[in-house]
Amino acid sequence: MRRIYESPEPDDGLRVLVDRLWPRGVAKEAAHVDEWPKGLTPSAELRTWFHRGGSYEEFRARYERELDAPEAAELLDGLRESVRKGPVTLLTATKTPERSHAQVLLELLGG
């Protein structure tokens, strides 16, 4: 997992943006994003709730429930398959990735 503002590294493998919105100030060509599965991202309602002071533990539980929805579950299974094939780097613009949806995804993927 890395912030999208960091330069791509040769060992990144498949680069997957896991944010719903494209990060400000990042040119698409410079980001070297291979996939952008918006259906894996937290809902707007959940993001708003969390950013207004919701606890990370509750956010995580709610987000994991959202990931059980058919579209998200299918995308998560596809990402798991990609991980089995080789390196995958989750990209996020979040300032604290270790307390974000990207961390939840990383842990669900076995990282």
Which DSSP string do the residues of 74-88 spell out, in sequence order? HHHHHHHHHHHHS-E
Structural domain total, the chain: 1
pLDDT of residue 105: 97
pLDDT digits (tens, 9 = 90+) for 54-99: 999 999 999 999 999 999 999 999 999 999 999 999 999 999 999 9
The strands making up 2-3's β-sheet, listed across from edge to edge, are 2-3, 88-92, 14-17
Which domain range does residue 90 map to?
A: 2-108
Compute the distance between CA of residue 60 and CA of residue 103 in angstroms, rounded to an integer. Answer: 9
Whole-prediction pTM: 0.93
Terminal Cα-to-Cα distance of the chain (whole angstroms): 9
- Using DSSP's 3-state secondary structure scheme, residue 91 falls into strand
Write the DSSP symbol of residue 95: S
Percent of residues, the chain, with pLDDT higher than 90: 97
